[in-house]
Each structure stands twice: as structure tokens, then as C-alpha cells.
Amino acid sequence: MAKVEFLKCVRCGQTYSIDDVEYYCPRCGPEGTLDVMYDYSRIKQLFTKESLKTKDEYSLWRYIDLLPIERKPELLNMQVGWTPLYKAKRLEQALGLDFVYIKDDGRNPTASFKDRASAIGVAKAIELDKKIMCAASTGNAASSLSGFAACAGIPSYIFVPATAPTAKITQLLIYGANVILVDGTYDEAFEVCLQASEEFGWYNRSCAVNPYLVEGKKTVAFELMEQLNWEVPDWVVMSVGDGCCISGAWKGFTEMHELGLIDKLPKMLGVQAAMSNPVNRAFRENKNSFDYVKPETLADSISVGIPRNGLKALRALRESSGDVVDVLDIEILEAMKQMARLTGVFGEPAGVTGLAGLRKMVKENRIQQNEKVVLVVTGNGLKDIKSAMSAVNTPITIQPSLEDLKKYLI
């Protein structure tokens, strides 16, 4: 018996059987992203603290009972998820907070949080016998899909802005994806990819189009709760572009709540770049629509003018009594240094944007000293060394002699 009961539109609430709809709500169009709903009363018997304790699978597949995949595909054996959680003592001291944890999702196979979704997307493609996959991406979703598709032997077509960081484009090329650089923004790349996917029947990896992908992202919440021994944090902090990551994590928390595994829920804190902040503006104005601005931020992964999963993100922020802040690029670069120097975790700009937002929240007294905070670092710093280099000083050069070294030291 299939685990997924039905799909439900985030916009109009209409439900659909999994056999009737592949991507988004036919009534609402692409804004009507769908939620994957399970038979929770049945899963409640399987998905318990005790049953989890007996599992020796340390990856996202540990949570297969609550994933829309019947079984872990044999071919797809990359280690995804179950990333480390660190207590960040020195960062706590710097921020004046008692509890700060770092979840380092840059430790995934292609070095970003996106791997959680790609694993499910490719597994679903295998299940549905899809021959070709495609993705539009600011960079990481693409590099991630190309890695997982390569592992499974499925060809992929990738649409990225020509301005994506070189490391991310390199990943695509080395994994052998069909790379199409779009002379335009991510928002434009997204549209071309959606059209191509409909025209040629390619299986779309976008988390905002394909309802199953966010299911992979929710596993971060399951891991967090197991790693924190089921003690729910007060805040979970993530950067927001399209809004798939934060809404995915929120779904994980609400499902654990529904299953009786946790008795309270965290507040979600979304952090956006100031020049790419449509979700924050909609949240502040209490609206359910988004005004486009041409995004401008060095945090390429959250450089999004039209948030494709904005409604789900707003729902996560509102339902959780959470909050959103936005930060300047210079604050993101500061956070990158602070994170690296106080925790040893090197995140890409969007990966450390959460820390920049946390700093702001603490400064403005919107987060209190004794509140427990988890920061999710969504991508590895080596993916964008150009931005990292702009945050630091150039090193000195010496002649290879002790004499010369001494000149520098005094």
C-alpha cells in the first residue's frame, strides 16, 4: 500500500490523488504547490522514538517510513543527510546566548542542503521510470541534481544563470550534466526550465514544482530532534530564497508533532538578503503575494526575485510564530568570517546568512539569552571562494628566510 494518501494545494486547499497530478495544482497553476500528505495514524505505529533507536541507517533513508519513496534505490548509495550538529561554545559567547547549535549541511555529498531534495527527486524518477531530469537553479540545486543523477545514471539538463559561481558550474560539468547557461536571472532560468520540462517530459527537480522534493528537506528536522535528544529548540534559523528549505524543515517539525514525538514546535527564523527580500516584505505587510524586485546580493543561492515556494515559507513563518529579518551583503561576509573563526565551519554566503540574521535579532532583543537556537548552514564555503576572498585581507609574502619573517612579525 502506498504511503502517500493525497496531495494538497497550499493555495486553495484542493486535494488530489497521486495518480492524477504530477506537479502543481491544476486550478492554481505553479503558485499552487502541493503538500504530500500521509496516513499518519498508520505511520504512528512505525515511526516511534523506539523504532528509530534501533536503526543503523545514518542517512536520510533512516526516515523512509515518512518519505514518499517505497524503498531506498539500490543505485543511489551516496551518503546524504545525518549531517553533524555542533554545540558552538565560542559563538555562544560572542553572541551572548546560552545555546547555539550548528547543523552543518555543507557536509552533504555535493556540499549543500539541496542534496536532501535531490536524493528524493532522483529516487522518485527511478520509481516512476523517468528517463531524463531537469533543474533550474541558482547553482546548488543544479550541482546537487547533477551529482545524484550521475550516481543513478540518469541524464540531466541544467539551467543556471551564467553568473553562478565557478565552483558550482564546475560541479555540473564534472558530473557530466547537460549544462545550459542562461543569459539572465535565476527567475528567468526557472521559467525556461519549467517550459522545457512540460514540452519534453523531463522530470523536474524544482522543489517548488515537484511536490516530493520538499519531503527530503524535512529530514533535517527529524535529525535535529534525534541529535538533540528530542529537546525542541526555541528557534531554527535558515536563509530563505525560494522558501523550500525553511518550509521543508517546518513540515518535518509539524509531522513529528502530529505523530506525538514532540510536544511543542520551534519558531522558524527566515533570513533574507536585503536586496532580495520578497518573503520578508510579504510577511511584514501580512500579504500572500510577492512584489518582484530585481535581486541583488552576493549570496547567489538566495538571489531570488520571485519566491517559488513563498506561500509555504510564509505559512511556516506564521504558523510557527516565527520571524524574518533581512541583512546586508556586508553583514553576510562578516558572518562568514565569524562562523569560520569561531566554529571551524566554513559556509558559503547563503550558508551563513542565518548567522547574520541571528546577530541582528540578538542585537535588537528579538531573541533572548536563554533561548535555544539551531543555525542550519546550508552550503559549503568552498563553493564560492570569490565571495570568501572578498571578506578577508590578502596575506603577506616573505622571502624564504627567518630574517624576512622577523621583519613581518615585529
Ligand X SMILES: *Cc1c(COP(=O)(O)O)cnc(C)c1O
Strand, coil or helix: 8: strand
CA distance 318 to 320: 5
262 vs 360 by CB, closer to ligand X: 360
Burial of 189 (0-12, 13-18, 19+ CB in 10 A): buried
Residue from 240, 306, 314, 325 touching ligand X (CB under 6 A): that is: 240
| 241 near ligand X, rule: CB under 6 A | yes
Q: Which is nearer to ligand X, 59 or 144 (CB)?
A: 144
Where does residue 393 rank: exposed (0-12), middle (13-18), buried (19+ CB within 10 A)?
A: exposed
Residue 116 identity (one-letter amino acid): R
Part of the chain binding Zn ion (CB under 5 A), chosen from 3-11, 65-73, 122-130, 296-304: 3-11
CB 82, CB 173: distance < 8 Å: no
CB under 5 to 8 A by kind: which of Zn ion, ligand X, none does 359 bind? Answer: none
Listed in sequence order, the DSSP H helices in 259-371 are 278-284, 310-319, 329-343, 349-363
Interaction partner, residue 302 (ligand X, Zn ion, none; CB < 5-8 Å by kind): ligand X
> Interface residues for ligand X in 353-382 (CB under 6 A)?
378-379
The C-alpha cell at 376 is 542550519
Cell digits of residue 120? 528524493
What SS3 string covers 312-339?
A: HHHHHHHHCCCEEEEECHHHHHHHHHHH
The listed partner (Zn ion, ligand X, none) that binds 277, CB under 5 to 8 Å by sort, is none
Q: Are 356 and 90 in contact (CB under 8 A)?
A: no
For position 32 contacting Zn ion by CB under 5 A, the verdict is yes
Find the part of the chain contacting Zn ion (CB under 5 A) among 9-17, 138-146, 169-177, 399-407.
9-17
d(C-alpha 142, C-alpha 184), whole Å:
16
- Binds 11: which of Zn ion, ligand X, none (CB < 5-8 Å by kind): Zn ion
| Candidate list 350, 358, 375, 388; residue touching ligand X; CB under 6 A | 350
Any idea what DSSP says for residue 154?
Answer: -
Nearer to ligand X among residue 73 and residue 267 (C-beta): 267
> Could you say whether residue 7 binds Zn ion (CB under 5 A)?
no
Of 12, 174, 293, 330, the one binding Zn ion by CB under 5 A? 12
| Site membership for ligand X, residue 301 (CB under 6 A) | yes
Residue 245 binding ligand X, by CB under 6 A: yes
**Interacting positions 128-147 with ligand X (CB under 6 A):** 140
- Three-class secondary structure of residue 215 per DSSP: helix
Residues between 103 and 122 with contacts to ligand X, criterion CB under 6 A: 112-114
Give the residue with the Cβ less far from Zn ion, 28 or 132. 28
- Please give the residue ranges that form the binding site for ligand X (CB under 6 A): 112-114, 140, 239-245, 301-302, 348, 350-351, 378-379
List residues binding Zn ion (CB under 5 A): 9, 11-12, 14, 25, 27-28, 32
